[in-house]
Amino acid sequence: MDIKKITVIGGGIMGSGIAQVIATSGINVIVEDAFKEALDKSKKTISESLGKFVKSGKVSENDSATILSRIRFSSDLKEAVSDSDVIIEAVPEIPDLKIKIFKDIEKFASPNAILATNTSNIRISEISASMNDPGRLVGMHFFNPPVLMKLVEVIKGEKTHEKNFEAIYELVKKIGKVPIRVLKDTAGFVVNRISAPESLFFCMLLQEGIDSPAAIDTFAKSQALPMGPYELMDYVGIDTVVHSLEYYSKTLSPDYGKCTYYNSMMKDNKLGLKTGEGFYRWENRKAVIPQAQPSDKVELMDILCLEVNEAVKLIEDGVTSPDDIETGVKLGMNRPFGPISVASGLTNSEIKEKLENISKKFKISVFEPARSIKEGKLKEVLSGKVERKESKVKEVKPAETGAKPEGLIAIIRENRVARLEIRNGKNNLLNAGVLNELESAIDSLWNDKEIYVIVIAGSGEIFSAGAELTQFIPGGIDFVEYSRKGERLFRRLSEIPKITIAEMKGYVLGGGFELSLNCDIRIATPETVIGFPEVTIGLLPGWSGTQRLPKLIGMSRATHLILSGERFDGTTAYNIGIVSKLFTKGEIKERTMEFAKDLSEKVSPIAAALSKRLINKGSEMSMDNGLEMEAISMGLLYTTDDFKEGISAFVQKRKPDYKFK
């Protein structure tokens, strides 16, 4: 569908943000609101927001003016929607108000226009029930603030037309956001549904007098969360939380009605940031939180297991896919990991036991383990195989859900050279996903006789700024195994029967530095920033750094660099023998690939494979044993076709054509 004009109904914070996002993507947009004051405020909000982007250098003055020129404001609904391709409603979360607005929109909108609602909780089918054609309506849930948050939930109501659903899904991508598919209409959809049991859980903690908000929030922050649960509720608005729980009590479970603590706060007008006081007093948009010791009455695992449980229910009910749940929670809640990653690191029995204890303690059935967890089938759910009432087993495939993730490691083949590019955001951080894909890439290339040289690089300006430290790892023994996994995987680069080259540019820190140390050859730019910062944050180089670096440059220098956490540049790395070539920042990719191509054409791959093994193993054995291995390797080479080709090419003064035989 060619979308040229969009109308946003509602000039509030969400409507203004959505309009700005749409205009920034190059599409003309009208903001409609019945109240002139709301439109005036919307104009100001958008102008101030763009001004911040200009000040930060993200948008130029000219681009800001162009974006503003694409936005019109109107208080006439008929005029605003009559020739729009898509109409997005973004008014307050009041079902009757939304229902009335769509009745009015249907009177004036083109029959071909797609209608969307920015509801965060209310079922699409409930809003569309009174429409002449309920199939026109699609859920399009942006997250606040829309100009910054990447996630948009695209929700299919019970009668939503498939073509409308797909058109909105594609529109979300066109305006620069990340869509996830919500295939079955349910209150709260994905992200808010995942967090719903938590809101009830934290309410019950206070109602039961288990601990104070300050102690629990202090505990949450000690677990690397940016905000504690009560501070976050204050920020969102206690009234919003109350209305959500009331809606969930009607649509999901009466258990959500057991929370009364927040209701009493709302009666006292303690709504948080918007009234200046909630759980805390707010000054200059910041909560004044009393000092408190971290609570020892709650565990992070309590919260994580509740999220996993709700995620399993969503998969069982066919609401969405595991991949979309993970994406939704990470982007919608600003988390480094989602419940699918958490569940992958835990056993079915420990999640089941934790949920049974919580539900028994508070007498809340919502906290009870989901059916698949009760039956010990957690791993089946995570793999996309779920039991449904209407069918025994159905595999949720990427084609059905749009869940196929973008690759974190790209394999780019150029003749006899394979370039492996890490593609994980600006800093190319290393996490479990990157390691898994790197392992798969190494597996695929190990016996590939058409590839002689492998270049390891980072996409963009950075090789890798290190490991993603905010990943979920359940416990100490799991961290041990995570370290062992990285060590063994990186070591395979030194053992693979190919020449491996690290293209070190931008930041090469921590795990990124360790990855490069396991390559045979390292190339950098003079400006490359290299180092092991681990000891400065309470860790150590745990992916072979403490063993590799001393063998490469000697114990004294390595000890200094590891214990000081000192960073150094590419020139220094060249001078002390870490890198063997320096190229300028602008030419490093081209020159590295030229070097790799040259090696692939002039070096015998079998001779190179045996040579690198002798070099690496030589430091681990006596001289006599090393020399014996060297002699045996010479005998092996003598029997190869490549040896004969190398001698023939030398005698005939031509370029050799090695076949890896």
Catalytic residue ranges: 120, 141, 153, 192
CA distance 432 to 486: 9
The backbone torsions φ and ψ at residue 596, rounded to the nearest 5 degrees and listed phi first, read -65, -40
CB distance 81 to 87 below 8 Å: yes
Measured CA distances, 588 to 372, 500, 503, 581, 582 (Å): 51, 16, 8, 10, 8
Alpha carbons 336 and 488: distance in angstroms, whole number: 25
Cα end-to-end span (Å), the chain: 55
* Residues 466 and 429 sit within 8 Å (Cβ to Cβ): yes
What residue type is 142 in one-letter code? F
d(CA 200, CA 306): 11
The CA-CA-CA angle for residues 107, 41, 154, to 5°, reads 50
> Do the Cβ atoms of 562 and 549 come closer than 8 Å?
yes
Q: Using omega within 30 degrees of 0 as the cis cutoff, is the peptide bond preceding 336 cis?
A: no
3-state helix, strand, coil in the chain (%, to 5): 50, 15, 35
Q: With contact defined as beta carbons under 8 Å apart, do 355 and 306 qualify?
A: yes
Instruction: Compute the chain's Rg from CA coordinates.
Output: 29
Question: Which string of DSSP letters, residue by residue, matches 539-588?
Answer: ---TTTHHHHHHHHH-HHHHHHHHHH--EEEHHHHHHTTS-SEE--TTTH
Q: What are phi and psi of 254, to 5 degrees?
A: -60, -20
Which residues lie below 8 Å from residue 622, measured CB to CB, with a gap of 6+? none
Measured from the Cβ of residue 643, the count of other Cβ atoms closer than 10 Å reads 18
